[in-house]
Amino acid sequence: MKYFRNLIISIILVLATLFLANKYLDSYLVMILSNIGIFIILAVSYNLINGVTGQFSLEPNGFVAIGAYVTALLLLSNDEKTMQFMLSDPSPLILWMHSSFIPALLISGIVASLIALTLAFPVFRVRGDYLAIVTLGFGFIIRIFAINQDSYTNGSMGLSNIPNEANLISIGVFALISVIVVLNIVYSKYGRAMKAIRDDEDATNAMGINTFKIKTIAFMTSAFFEGIGGGLMASLLTTISPEQFSFMLTFQLLIIIVLGGLGSTTGAIIATFLVLGGMEALRFLDEPNFFTNTAHPGLRMVVFSLLLILIMIFARKGLFGDREIWDKKWFNFKM
């Protein structure tokens, strides 16, 4: 009962905050908060495969791209599609695709998780690091396809005028759903199996757990929410292009989950606020400042990559380790 009481109280609190923020904050802050909401969805789901299951994967940009394209193509009207597709005519499939906002997001998530299922077969057959390189390559392949398949994606021109159906409230609700679903997985029998795989895969196997199945479930769940996050992103920004979903996106998410502590869902949420807020706050580094007279575009990213290396070397556990905020011992600064 205590669980349901806490759950309902926190849902009401989050929704109330969202309504207030949507009503009283200016549009710049609402935009930043919406962006943070999308990144919470992405970070929490990315943390499931990377932190909880301990399988180092670099997939988010690929699945986010898939989600964004599927949602965009489902939401655009036929007239818009024929008008925008300049390089070649849209294929019949593209013209046939149509749905309203919520089904479009769900379809994006399902498409992404089905692709994750097909990737799981080559990748989880072998141990360890190959997942990283295959998923990194997967992001490149998605981009190559997005650029070359003119009749499906409009090539490097991208898609624009996507109906803006996502706002802070809908993003917040989806973020809430994804956090609740992921936490429920983490505390279920599957979640315990995932943590066991992270700690010792051989022992988990020996206990009679089908590690391939558990890893695939984690990967597919992760891809599902990344697809939804991509759809929300497409609808929020109203334009998408292949270049938008570069490895940079994955790198930001990686910093977030490492800073929050690999395996900590609440840590990922807090780190999303810290990193995205920090990215906004550190904009001054790219401009001419007190120390250097000339502008250094890119200095911000140098600082962030150094931050990632330093966290890994000196504070490998991040803010929370693999604990949650409600666990007894809060911060973990042990090295």
312 binds other proteins (CB under 8 A): yes
**Contact positions with other proteins (CB under 8 A) in 193-212:** none
User: Can you tell me which of 20, 86, 93, 133 binds other proteins, judged by CB under 8 A?
Assistant: 133
Quickly list DSSP for 266-325: HHHHHHHHHHHHHHHHGGGGGS--SS-SS--TTHHHHHHHHHHHHHHHH-TTTTTTT--T
| Pick 304 or 331: Cβ nearer other proteins | 304
| Pick 283 or 316: Cβ nearer other proteins | 316
334 binds other proteins (CB under 8 A): no
Report the nearest approach of other proteins to the CB of residue 180 (Å).
Answer: 26
Instruction: Tell me the site size for other proteins, rule CB under 8 A.
Output: 43
174 binds other proteins (CB under 8 A): no
What are the angstrom distances between the C-alpha of 162 and each of 42, 89, 103, 159? 21, 18, 15, 7
What Rg, from alpha-carbon coordinates, does the chain have?
Answer: 20
Report the nearest approach of other proteins to the CB of residue 297 (Å).
Answer: 7
User: Can you tell me which of 15, 110, 183, 299 binds other proteins, judged by CB under 8 A?
Assistant: 299
User: Can you tell me which of 27, 28, 208, 313 binds other proteins, judged by CB under 8 A?
Assistant: 313
3-state secondary structure of 97: coil
Tokens of 323: 């604990």
Neighbours of 95 (CB within 10 A): 14
CA distance 76 to 61: 22
Do 215 and 120 contact (CB within 8 A), yes or no?
yes
**Contact positions with other proteins (CB under 8 A) in 238-277:** 247, 251, 254, 258, 262
| Pick 97 or 119: Cβ nearer other proteins | 119
Per CB under 8 A, the segment of 12-20, 96-104, 270-278, 291-299 that binds other proteins is 291-299
**Contact positions with other proteins (CB under 8 A) in 36-95:** 50, 54, 56, 58
Report the nearest approach of other proteins to the CB of residue 125 (Å).
Answer: 6
Nearest Cα residue to 259 out of 332, 318, 322: 318
CA distance 322 to 331: 11
Tokens of 85: 């597709």
Report the nearest approach of other proteins to the CB of residue 128 (Å).
Answer: 7
Report the nearest approach of other proteins to the CB of residue 27 (Å).
Answer: 30
Report the nearest approach of other proteins to the CB of residue 186 (Å).
Answer: 17
Residue 159 phi, psi dihedral angles, 5° rounding: -120, 145
309 binds other proteins (CB under 8 A): yes
Planar angle of CA 166, 161, 33, nearest 5 degrees: 30
Do 61 and 139 contact (CB within 8 A), yes or no?
yes
Tokens of 86: 């300049």
CA distance 70 to 99: 11
CA distance 173 to 132: 31
Report the nearest approach of other proteins to the CB of residue 197 (Å).
Answer: 12
User: Can you tell me which of 8, 126, 207, 281 binds other proteins, judged by CB under 8 A?
Assistant: 126
137 binds other proteins (CB under 8 A): yes
**Where does this chain bind other proteins (CB under 8 A)?**
50, 54, 56, 58, 121-123, 125-130, 132-134, 136-138, 140-141, 144-145, 147-148, 247, 251, 254, 258, 262, 296-299, 301-302, 305-306, 308-309, 312-313, 316
